[in-house]
A and B are shown apart, each in its own frame.
Chain A
């Protein structure tokens, strides 16, 4: 299936990336022809890491795979807004690593605390050390505390971010349940880049779904650092169709929406627009690649990780691959779908590298479904390829659900969003 095509020299691409430090096609690791030919250690059992582990083991059972994840169970951000909206249980978004263990993947519930890239070794909180031939980091994001003045870890116990699913999700849900009718919910949304561009607006929608039924005099204000946001016309149309007029109000960055500080004691948000006191305050703060990426030395000045788009190998440290939210994947948004496709491309690249074969040409899709109510779904999608300039969207491949579609189409999309969730989590967590 390798087509001759005028235009783009693959070898030039490889040497160009090699010149910046990321070497792609390498010969086989010496002395690795026996039973377990090489060791891959994967940090983070989320959308990127679990998928990568699964797909390496599907492609080459002779590679020893160790997946290290700090939490015993993985709680997905996708569909956590449905828990916050009150129509899904935490158990429906919580997954165990049994399936991956049954596949023969070593799953260690532990935290990686240090990475010695010269010695090819990771250190765990338990004190254990593991050596690797190739290391994969898919550790997700961390919040940048105090980027919004006053918003630190302690403040997040009062004004949750709920941007990592788990106790934070439950905290926000409980606060909404405890809020009086007529209360004000304020959500602050950050500037790009951040995890899941449409999720603040999906969240506002599903909180409105709850409030419209149980606390109809209440209101939601989104204070946005941005002047526009993804699928905006579709969200606005949906809010008109689904919820009382004015229940959701969106404030653009240029119109006072940019939040610069909070006071957790009074749940007050501060922006150029003034001070706004909330009954429930949900702060989605600016984000960065998770801490372990910094310890590994793979983050750039902007706190994200640059990678070779053919292999996801770090541009700064050899033999460390970074994928998912932590990496800069060009035009791809930070989504679970993106991380899943990057996990597959990385798996294929690692299997090729560790077997001394040429790395194949990558290809990626992304689709972000958003629910505006349990029965009202919309989506945005695009296809991507790797180029010397990074990962770019194929022209014409990006589009959204149409405006003015009948309710039946929105209902089908909501049903298929659930189908997507079953499929992607099945890939991650079932034995297969």
Chain B
């Protein structure tokens, strides 16, 4: 059975599709995590609310488009990185957009 990818955030992993499909019926839906909870997984490295106290760059208050460009480039590999290329694997364009909007709106 072909499975449509979600509009936002995740390139569905095959194993997950299998798990989800097991309980599927046409009208059933799945919730996607809110951007707030995803953003707090970024702050473990980028600092609370995106304000970094150490060597990893801050995200708070950066330009939205600047963040989008960088995240896209990490994902595609155009921008070399020690880790961000790997971190971006499960996120799609919609996810990138929401994360960028979220961090751009934090105060520096």
Contact = CB atoms under 8 A, between A and B. Distances in A.
Contacts of B38: 363
Contact of A5 (B11, B29, B89): B29
Interface stretch (A137-145, A203-211, A288-296, A341-349): A341-349
A2 interface: yes
Interface of chain A, main secondary structure: mixed
Contacts of B46: 423
A365 interface: yes
B24 A9 contact: yes
Contact of A9 (B4, B25, B44): B25
Nearest to B5: A5
Interface string A164-181: 000000000000000000
Interface string B84-108: 0011011000000010000000000
A10 interface: yes
Nearest to A426: B53
Contacts of A416: 45, 55-56, 82-83
A290 B72 CA distance: 43
Contacts of A422: 47, 52-55
Given A362-B37, A423-B52, A9 B19 contact: no
A31 interface: no
Contact of A432 (B7, B48, B83): B48
B40 interface: yes
Contacts of A379: 82-83
B79 interface: no
Most buried by A among B3, B11, B20: B20
Chain B interface size range: 35 or more
Interface in B14-42: 14-17, 19-21, 23-26, 28-38, 40-42
A84 B7 CA distance: 48
Interface string A21-59: 000000000000000000000000000000000010000
Contacts of A360: 31, 33-34, 37
Given A7-B28, A12-B23, A361-B31, A409 B82 contact: yes
B54 A361 contact: no
A9 B33 CA distance: 14
B63 interface: no
Interface string B59-94: 000000000000000000000001100110110000
Contacts of B13: 394-397
Nearest to B50: A423
Interface residues of A, number: 56
Contacts of B56: 416, 419-420, 423
B64 to A, nearest CB: 17
B47 A361 contact: no
Interface in A323-365: 337, 340-341, 344-345, 348, 360-365
B80 to A, nearest CB: 8
Given A387-B16, A418-B55, A7 B24 contact: yes
Interface in A351-396: 360-365, 367, 379, 381, 383, 385, 387-389, 392, 394-396
Contacts of A418: 54-55
B45 A423 contact: yes
A10 B30 contact: yes
Interface string A392-430: 101111010100000001001101101111111011001
A385 B43 contact: no
A6 B54 contact: no
Contacts of A337: 44
Contact of B28 (A8, A348, A367, A387): A8
A302 interface: no
Given A6-B3, A7-B3, A12-B23, A381 B86 contact: yes
Contact of B44 (A387, A395, A423): A423
A60 to B, nearest CB: 13
A361 B90 contact: no
Contacts of B37: 344-345, 348, 360-363
Interface string A199-225: 000000000000000000000000000
B23 to A, nearest CB: 5
19 contacts: A2-B29, A3-B7, A7-B21, A7-B30, A379-B82, A381-B87, A383-B90, A387-B19, A392-B16, A394-B90, A395-B13, A396-B11, A420-B44, A421-B54, A422-B53, A423-B45, A423-B46, A426-B53, A430-B48
Given A383-B41, A416-B83, 13 more contacts: A3-B31, A7-B24, A8-B28, A12-B23, A381-B86, A381-B87, A385-B16, A387-B16, A416-B55, A423-B53, A423-B56, A426-B47, A427-B48
